Structure formats: structure tokens, C-alpha cells
Copies of this chain bind each other. A is one copy, B any other.
Amino acid sequence: MPKTQFIVEPGAQQVVMTRDFNAPRELVFRVLTDPELIGKWWGPSDLTTDIQQMEMREGGAWRFVQRDKDGNDFAFHGIYHVVDAPRQVVQTFEFDGLPERHVLLETLDLDEKNGVTTLTQTSVYQSVADRDGMVAMGMESGATESLERLDALLQSQRVDS
């Protein structure tokens, strides 16, 4: 199975995540951006995801709320800046549960070669401390689980289509 890789350089203020998928780029983009499918891969599998907003256009807002089995909510939101299907999405990302605002800029690039699509997500933080804090909170394991769920979903979509 392809592995998710992270580049977290000391002192840098970004995290670069890459993963290959055995699927064409159009399909990967479609599954990544389909609000009906977000809940099937976004975040840990033991949480439900409610898509409250997902306006995929420049300046459009997105807001996803996850809920655990005890009813605790975790809300995330941001704004789309670039939506260039099936090549790129640039958006901001925030977690609502922090006392101060911390905004990151995420660039998602999809590149296809010989039927394999490479997803590269570059998350740029307002500071190195913000980046280090997010890494310390375990973002790598959370993101890895999301991409593993996405991979499984893509394989099922290939069978369906």
C-alpha cells in the first residue's frame, strides 16, 4: 500500500504531505471535493462529520463539524482561494477550538503520471511555533488516517464507476 510521507523541517513553518493513489487525477479530485463523500474519509473514522458549508469557489467558505460519541463537537473552517479542478485547491484552514485565531494556508496539488496520482498538500503556518504546535498535537497520525480512508474510498469508487 502506498505510504503517506511528511516533510517537517526543523525551524520551517510548513508541513508538506505527499501520498500516491492508484487512481486517475480526475477521480481523486472529484472524491476529494464531493461534499457527499467528505464524511467517509475526512478525519478519524470514529467521528461523524457534518458539512455545514462547502462553497467551492474563490472566496467561498467551508465549515466542517466533527462529533465524537460523547457529543463533543470539533469545528473547522476556512475560505477557498484557488479552485482549479482537477489540478489545485488553495484554501485557508482554522480550528475553532483555540482561544486565538491561527490561520494556515493549504495548497493541495494533484499530479498524475502513468495512472498514479500524487497528492501533495503544503500547509503553511503563521509561525514556526504554530507549525510545531500542530505537529505536537499529532496532526501526522490524523492526516495519515484520513488519506488511508480516502485511498480505500477511491478503490471502492473505481469498482463502482
A14 near B: Cβ within 8 Å?
Answer: yes
In the docked arrangement, what's the CA distance between A88 and B125, Å? 16
Are the C-beta atoms of A107 and B126 separated by less than 8 Å? yes
CB neighbors of B among A66-112 (8 A): 78-79, 81-82, 84, 88, 90, 92, 101, 103-105, 107
Are the C-beta atoms of A103 and B82 separated by less than 8 Å? yes
Identical copies in the complex: 2
Which of B14, B84, B88, B92 interacts with A81 by CB under 8 Å? B92
User: How many chain-A residues does the 8 Å CB contact rule pick out?
Assistant: 26
A153 near B: Cβ within 8 Å?
Answer: no
A37 near B: Cβ within 8 Å?
Answer: no
Segment from A26-34, A40-48, A55-63, A144-152 that makes contact with B:
A55-63
Contacts of A104 in B (CB 8 A): 105
Contacts of A116 in B (CB 8 A): none
A90-B103, A92-B105 given; name 10 further pairs at CB < 8 Å: A11-B11, A11-B12, A12-B12, A13-B14, A58-B79, A79-B79, A81-B92, A84-B101, A124-B124, A124-B125
Residues of A with Cβ closer than 8 Å to B? 11-14, 58-61, 78-79, 81-82, 84, 88, 90, 92, 101, 103-105, 107, 122, 124-127
Between-chain CB contacts (< 8 Å), 5 pairs: A59-B60, A59-B61, A84-B101, A105-B126, A122-B127
